[in-house]
Amino acid sequence: MERYQADKHPPPLTGEEVLTTGPETRALVRLLGRVSVTPGGPDQRRCFLFDGLSTLFHFTGWLWGISHQGRSAREYPFELLLHRSLCDETRQTDLPSSFLQYTPSGDQKAPGLFIHQREHLHAFYLTTPAGQQQTSVIGFCLSRQRDPLEEREVRIVSTVLRGLPWLHAPLAERPPDRRMAPRLESIRKLLLNGLQRKEIAASLGLSIGTVNGYIKEIYQHYKVTSRTELFRLCSLHEKQQPSVR
């Protein structure tokens, strides 16, 4: 845990001190207005919102997932639900693997803000309780070329994310019968995002053999034999995430 700088809820600013600049305010209100009428389900809205925030604050990627408290590391406490890389010059697969690997530990019960700055990864995460034994984790990843995050920017983004409880409410909308183990769900998401097996393995810090085993389980679950079939099946049953602009 020492690499996470825990910075629990910062106390709200007092008085009339202005937090946002004029252009930021306008862009944020425009974004929130559009999210409110985005067709589709909550996942479409989440993508739209996270993409918009990333554009506004020059983030290079984002993720959203659920951390299951009380599960051991072997039970895969962190379930990745949505993510996207927004670097122009890099591909989807280049989301820094440690960003994907981020798993708040099981005893991480308190909601809060975690800023993580290391040589190869600048990111921050907001954790919010999302039901029994579940914590929603939203993370944004920053380019290393970018200036470090200002406290002001972190406050703006976390004010927006905390003000939208629907963002963090995860699993009720998903039919329980189609749910697989969290780790399989994470891998299914990566498969559908077009990552190669070895890339999935690198992202999650697993061996190729382990990943192959997981993929076999996923194919069995959906009764398919190839990724193409999985794609077709999943796009029939779920509204696909909107594509990257």
Q: Which amino acid is at 199?
A: E
Least distance in angstroms from the C-beta of 35 to other proteins: 6
Q: 30 or 58: whose CB is closer to other proteins?
A: 30
CA distance readout (Å), 193 to 50, 82, 141, 197, 242: 17, 10, 18, 12, 12
How far is 105 from 103, CA to CA, in rounded Å? 6
Least distance in angstroms from the C-beta of 106 to other proteins: 30
Q: 75 or 173: whose CB is closer to other proteins?
A: 173
Q: 113 or 156: whose CB is closer to other proteins?
A: 156
How far is 104 from 109, CA to CA, in rounded Å? 9
Q: 36 or 228: whose CB is closer to other proteins?
A: 36
Least distance in angstroms from the C-beta of 130 to other proteins: 15
Strand (E) positions, 42-171?
59-68, 78-85, 112-118, 121-129, 134-142
Least distance in angstroms from the C-beta of 28 to other proteins: 7
How far is 38 from 27, CA to CA, in rounded Å? 16
Paired tokens of 168: 């963090």
Q: 31 or 66: whose CB is closer to other proteins?
A: 31
DSSP 239: P
Binding positions for other proteins, rule: CB under 8 A = 12-13, 15-22, 24-26, 28-30, 32-33, 35-37, 45, 155-156, 159-160, 162-166
How far is 154 from 7, CA to CA, in rounded Å? 11
Q: 117 or 159: whose CB is closer to other proteins?
A: 159
Least distance in angstroms from the C-beta of 9 to other proteins: 12
Least distance in angstroms from the C-beta of 152 to other proteins: 10
DSSP 111: -
Ramachandran sector of residue 15 (left: φ over 0; alpha: ψ -120 to 50; beta: rest):
left
